[in-house]
Structure formats: structure tokens, C-alpha cells
Amino acid sequence: MTTATEDRPTGPPEGTPGTEPFLSVRDLRVRFATEDGLVKAVDGLSFDLPRGRTLGIVGESGSGKSVTNLAVLGLHDPRVTTVTGDILLDGRELTHAPRRALERLRGNTMSMIFQDSLTALSPYYTVGRQIAEPYRKHTGASRARARRRAVEMLGRVGIPRPERRVDDYPHHFSGGMRQRAMIALALVCDPELLIADEPTTALDVTVQAQILDLLADLQRERGTAIVFVTHDLGVVAGVCDEVLVMYAGRCVERGTVRDILKSPRHPYTWGLLGSLPRMTDDADEPLRPIPGTPPSLLTPPPGCPFHPRCPYRDQVPDDRCRVERPPLAPEGGGRASACHLPDERVRELTPGAVR
Ligand SMILES: Nc1ncnc2c1ncn2[C@@H]1O[C@H](COP(=O)(O)OP(=O)(O)OP(=O)(O)O)[C@@H](O)[C@H]1O
Ligand code: SF4
Ligand SMILES: [Mg+2]
């Protein structure tokens, strides 16, 4: 029987040889105490992200993407949340860092574009002030300088007439403009780590392209490390270097963007990409819904967490899928996947696509 601790990697994930990870996450576990019991939202997640690289995180709703990212920023409520494991940012341990130390890093060294722009901006302050304040706080700039910076950032994210809109309140902005304002807020201090959680979902394609260009510029100029959560395969293909596929709070597959989009190995990834037996060449489509629903994180199923929905579980001998949790097994070249299907069977199912 495979246990959670056996799943724990002992060294950095492969795929980034010779590059020091800027963000390193090891065996991250996030538990929420609820009236119904303990929700295991993230269950032993590990990954590395070097400077100047973009890691995509994909998975269905509820797979733990946002919970992972909030843990990196230290934003969970400690009264109801237990976070264990190691989160290292440029060698600094964040998991047990004091609140003040995290506050100094947040919005400065590391920042996040939140999934929900409505809750991320305060209705009580002008948009400009909300962008200028963290800049003032972290750089010591004067009010006038910070205001100019807010105008500049609003312009960079495509807000028309930013010198006038800087004094608007969030409710004066449309949903798409609020999203852009939040992106300006996340970028105002030129973060070294940017976590972008579905940053462009609410935006039309032209603005989306503009924002993606802006992030690419930031990465080129500053070597920013970016974690990018998205349901959009076109965005994954366009911006990510590596991809981590999450299911039920765990990584079920990871690899380069080409590995994952062109030759995925895990049945869950096949389902997400809708790519079996035809390996998709068309990345310009969203992830697809998979029949069935993700498992309860209060009482996850035994064995492979995907087994209740997996069409291939009966192809694995001895009923292993139902009783034994597959470890995340490295496959060389930075790839890893967690599935009991024998390699020969995977090759038969994905002709010509799997090494
Ligand atoms: N504060 C909380 N208390 C209890 N459960 C929570 C809490 N926050 C998140 N969860 C649960 O943790 C799981 C993971 O949630 P998370 O928000 O990370 O999903 P996600 O992958 O970001 O999904 P989406 O694509 O919809 O944004 C979900 O089952 C969610 O209900
Ligand atoms: S381990 Fe079994 S149930 Fe899980 S994905 Fe692989 S074949 Fe499917
Ligand atoms: Mg989310």
C-alpha cells in the first residue's frame, strides 16, 4: 500500500536541472476545520519554480489551485486552517514566518492577482489610492510619485484615460476594468514572484492578449517567476513553461507544457484535454468537463482518488486502483505522473504520442 509519506519527494522535482528554484514547495498540506470535519484541500503537493519561468496549474474547480496559492502567500486564516510542509521563497522559509515578515513580502517581493476582483478591491477607497499605497509603503515614494505610478500602471493594463480614472472608486469600473485594476495593483511593485489566479478570465480577447504581453514583458525585464492558474489551454500553451495538473488536492501529472499538451500520460489529464484517442493540436479551447464529479475532500476515496471516474481502472490488475494510491513517479525529463496503468498500455492508448 502506498502511503502519503511515500509520495513525498526527497529532492527537487526534475525538469529544472541547473536552475535554482526561486519558489520551492515541499509536501504542502492545507486542512480546513469545518463543522462537517477536516477538509483536506491540499494533500502533499511539491513543486519548484525558478526565476524567469512560468508554471501553469490546471485542474477542475475545487482541485486546490487557489488554496495552494493562498498558502504560498500566507493568506489562510490560521484559526481554521492548518498549513504544513515547506514553502521556500529564495531560500526563506515562509510556512512558519511571522505575520509581519509575510506582510513585508506580500505585494512587494511576491504578489497575487486574485481570482475574484470584486472582493480584492476595497469599495471605500479610490482605485488609484489602492494601487499607490502599497507602492508608497514598499518603496518609500512620495504621495505624488506613487500617484504617478498608479496612473502609469492603470495605463499599462489598458485603462483608457488613466489620469482621470485614477480617482474613481471600484464601483465606477466595469468588471473587466476592475480586473485590470487588480492586475495593476499586483504588478505595481514589480514582484519577483507573481501568482496569477485566472487573471484574464473576465477579459475580452484583446485585453487578455495585452495583459499576457504585459506579464511577458515583466518576466523578461525582471526575471519574474510566475504561477499561472487557468482553465484556458490556449493560455497554457502560450505562456507556461511547465504544467502541474491537480486533482483532489494532489499533483497527478507534471511536465513541460509540450509534454502535457502533446503527450499527456494520466487519464485525468486525458479527460481534461478531451484528447484521447486524438491528441489535440488545437490548444485554442478550454479544458473540458469530465463525466462525474470530483471527490469529497472530507472523505476522499481510497486508492487512486480518480478511480470512481476513471474509464481505465479495470485495466489495472488486482483492483489496485481502488485500494492502492499511485505514487507520483518521476519518468525522466522532468515528467512525473501518478497512475497504475502499465507503460505499455499507456503507449497503446496514446499511439505515437508517448515516449
Ligand atoms: N475556507 C475554506 N473552508 C473549507 N473548505 C475550503 C475553504 N477554502 C477552500 N475550501 C475547499 O477546498 C477545495 C479547494 O478549493 P480551491 O478554491 O483551491 O479550488 P480551485 O482549484 O481554486 O477551484 P476553482 O477552479 O473553482 O477556482 C474546495 O473543495 C473548497 O471547497
Ligand atoms: S491509477 Fe487507475 S484509476 Fe487512477 S488514473 Fe490510473 S488507471 Fe485510472
Ligand atoms: Mg480557484
List the chain pLDDT tens, one digit each, 355 residues: 333 333 444 444 433 333 689 999 999 999 999 999 999 999 999 999 999 999 999 999 999 999 999 999 999 999 999 999 999 999 999 998 999 999 999 988 999 998 876 678 999 999 999 999 999 999 999 999 999 999 999 999 999 999 999 999 999 998 889 989 999 999 999 999 999 999 987 788 888 888 899 899 989 998 999 999 998 888 999 999 999 999 999 999 999 999 999 999 999 999 988 844 344 445 555 566 788 999 999 999 999 999 999 999 999 999 999 999 999 999 888 899 999 999 899 988 875 554 3
At residue 40, what are phi and psi to the nearest 5 degrees?
A: -90, 85
Q: CA separation (Å) from 84 to 32, 43, 52?
A: 12, 10, 27
Q: Report whether residue 312 contacts ligand 2, using a CB cutoff of 6 Å.
A: yes
Nearest-CA residue for atom 6 of ligand 2: 339
Query: Which CB contacts under 8 angstroms, 24+ apart, belong to 329-333?
Result: 330/13, 330/14, 331/265, 332/14, 333/14, 333/15, 333/255, 333/256, 333/259
Residue to mutate, 312, 314, 331, ligand 2, most ligand atoms under 8 Å from C-beta: 312
Q: Report whether residue 83 contacts ligand 2, using a CB cutoff of 6 Å.
A: no
Question: What was the pLDDT predicted at 61?
Answer: 92
What single-letter amino acid sits at 85? G
| Cα 42 to middle of ligand 1, angstroms | 9
Question: What was the pLDDT predicted at 59?
Answer: 94
What single-letter amino acid sits at 74? G
- Which pTM value belongs to this model? 0.90
CA nearest to 290, candidates 58, 10, 19, 44: 58
Nearest-CA residue for atom 1 of ligand 1: 32
**C-beta neighbour count of 265 within 10 angstroms:** 26
Question: What was the pLDDT predicted at 16?
Answer: 38
| Cα 66 to middle of ligand 3, angstroms | 4
- Burial state string for 314-327 with b = 16 or more CB within 10 A and e = fewer than 16: eebeeebbeebbbb
How far apart CA 208 and CA 198 sit, in angstroms, is 11
| Cα 66 to middle of ligand 2, angstroms | 25
Axis-axis angle for helices 127-139, 143-156 (nearest 10): 120
Q: Report whether residue 328 contacts ligand 2, using a CB cutoff of 6 Å.
A: no
Q: Report whether residue 339 contacts ligand 2, using a CB cutoff of 6 Å.
A: yes
Ligand 1 pocket, Cβ-based, cut-off 6 angstroms = 32, 34, 39, 41, 59, 61-67, 115, 297
| Cα 292 to middle of ligand 1, angstroms | 18
Atom of ligand 2 nearest to the CA of 322: 3
| Cα 259 to middle of ligand 3, angstroms | 24
Q: Report whether residue 326 contacts ligand 2, using a CB cutoff of 6 Å.
A: yes
Atom of ligand 2 nearest to the CA of 310: 8
| Cα 266 to middle of ligand 1, angstroms | 23
How far apart CA 254 and CA 334 sit, in angstroms, is 8
CB 265 within 8 A of CB 78: no
| Cα 62 to middle of ligand 3, angstroms | 7
How far apart CA 335 and CA 253 sit, in angstroms, is 8
Q: Report whether residue 294 contacts ligand 2, using a CB cutoff of 6 Å.
A: no
All structural domains of the chain, each given as residue ranges with its CATH number in brackets, are 5-109+192-349 (3.40.50.300), 117-190 (no CATH)
Q: Report whether residue 67 contacts ligand 2, using a CB cutoff of 6 Å.
A: no
Residue to mutate, 58, 66, 83, ligand 1, most ligand atoms under 8 Å from C-beta: 66
Nearest-CA residue for atom 3 of ligand 2: 307
